[in-house]
A and B are shown apart, each in its own frame.
Chain A
Amino acid sequence: MSEENVYLSPNPASAARPIAIDPEKCTGCNLCVNVCPADVFVPNPEAGRVPLVLFVDECWYCGPCVDECPHAGAIRLNYPVMWRVPWKRKETGQHYWVGMKNPPPPNDTPPA
Chain B
Amino acid sequence: MSWGTWIDLNAGNDAMKWPYPIRYGQEDAVDVDVLVLGGGIAGCWAAISAAEQGAKVAILERGSILGSGAGTGCDHWQWAITDVPGVSLSAEDFTQALVDNHGGYNNGISRYIQARDGYETLLELEEMGGKVRDTEDTFKGAEFRDEQTKLLFAYDYENRIVMRVWGMTFKRALRSRLRRLGVDIHERVALTGLLTERRGEDATAVVGATGLNVRTGAFNVFTAKATVLCAARPQRIWTYSTELAGSCDLRMPGAMGGGYAAAWRAGTEFAMMEKSIPAGLSINPSAPHGSGHPSNTWYPCTIVDANGKEVPWVDRDGHTLETFEERCRPAPGQRFFIKGGGQSSLPHQGLRDYQGPRLTNVDTLVEKGEIELPLYADLPSLPAHERRAIFGLMVGQEAKTKHTYANYTHAGFDPDRDMLLSYQQLIGGGGYGTSAEGAKTVLGFPSIRNAHSGTTGGPVVDWNLRTNLEGLYAAGDGMLGGNDHSHAATTGRYAGRRAAWFARQATARSGSREQIEAEKRRVYSPLQRKDGVHWKELLAGINKTMQAYCGAVKSEGLLRMALEAGEDLKHVVDTELAAVNPHDLANALSVVDILTAGIDIIVPACLARRASSAFLHFSRAEYPAMDPPEWQKFVTIRQEGGVVKQGERPLNLGAPFEENYLAHRPAAPIGA
Contact = CB atoms under 8 A, between A and B. Distances in A.
Q: Do A and B form a real pair?
A: yes
Interface of A: 8, 10, 13-16, 18, 34-39, 42-43, 45, 55, 57-68, 77, 79-80, 82-83, 85-91, 96-100, 103-112
A45 B14 contact: yes
Contacts of B19: 42-43, 45
B380 A90 contact: yes
Nearest 6 interchain pairs by C-beta:
A111-B396, A37-B63, A104-B412, A112-B392, A64-B67, A16-B245
A96 B396 contact: no
Given A63-B403, A111-B396, A112-B138, A85 B409 contact: no
A21 B407 CA distance: 16
Interface in B559-607: 583
A37 to B, nearest CB: 3
Nearest to A66: B403
Given A10-B1, A62-B252, A96-B411, A36 B419 contact: no
B378 interface: yes
A110 B136 CA distance: 14
10 contacts: A10-B1, A16-B246, A35-B67, A38-B63, A42-B20, A59-B246, A79-B289, A85-B423, A89-B417, A96-B413
Interface string B384-406: 00001100110111011011011
Contacts of B64: 34-37, 64
Interface string B600-636: 0000000000000000000000000000000000000
A34 B252 CA distance: 16
B371 to A, nearest CB: 15
Contacts of A107: 409-410, 412-414
A39 B67 contact: no
B63 A36 contact: yes
Contacts, number: 164
Max count, chain B CB within 10 A of own CB: residue among A61, A87, A97, A105 = A87
A64 B604 CA distance: 39
A6 B495 CA distance: 58
B242 A87 contact: no
Given A16-B245, A58-B253, A111-B392, A106 B409 contact: yes
A38 B254 contact: yes
Contacts of A80: 245
A63 B66 CA distance: 11
A64 B409 CA distance: 19
B378 A90 contact: yes
A39 B64 CA distance: 9
A15 B413 contact: no
Interface residues of B, number: 66
B347 to A, nearest CB: 32
Interface of chain B, main secondary structure:
loop
Q: Is the interface of A mostly helix, strand, loop or mixed?
A: loop
Interface string B365-392: 0000000000010101000000011001
Contacts of B397: 111-112
Nearest to B392: A112
Interface of B: 1, 6, 9, 14-15, 17, 19-20, 62-64, 66-69, 72, 138-139, 187-188, 214-215, 242-247, 249, 252-254, 288-290, 376, 378, 380, 388-389, 392-393, 395-397, 399-400, 402-403, 405-414, 417-421, 423, 583
Given A10-B1, A39-B188, A85-B421, A112 B243 contact: no
B289 A63 contact: no
Given A90-B378, A90-B419, A99 B253 contact: no
Max count, chain B CB within 10 A of own CB: residue among A62, A99, A108: A62
B452 to A, nearest CB: 14
A111 B393 contact: yes
Contacts of B252: 37-38, 60, 62
A79 B243 CA distance: 14
Contacts of B14: 45
A60 B393 contact: no
A57 B215 CA distance: 18
Nearest to B412: A104
A60 B414 contact: no
Given A16-B246, A45-B17, A62-B399, A112 B66 contact: no
Most buried by B among A8, A38, A57, A89: A38
B411 A86 contact: no
Nearest to B395: A111
Given A83-B247, A112-B389, A77 B407 contact: yes
Contacts of A34: 64, 187
Contacts of B247: 83
Given A60-B400, A88-B419, A55 B583 contact: yes
Nearest to B284: A60
Given A13-B242, A63-B400, A87 B408 contact: yes
Contacts of A36: 63-64, 67
Nearest to A62: B400
A73 B103 CA distance: 51
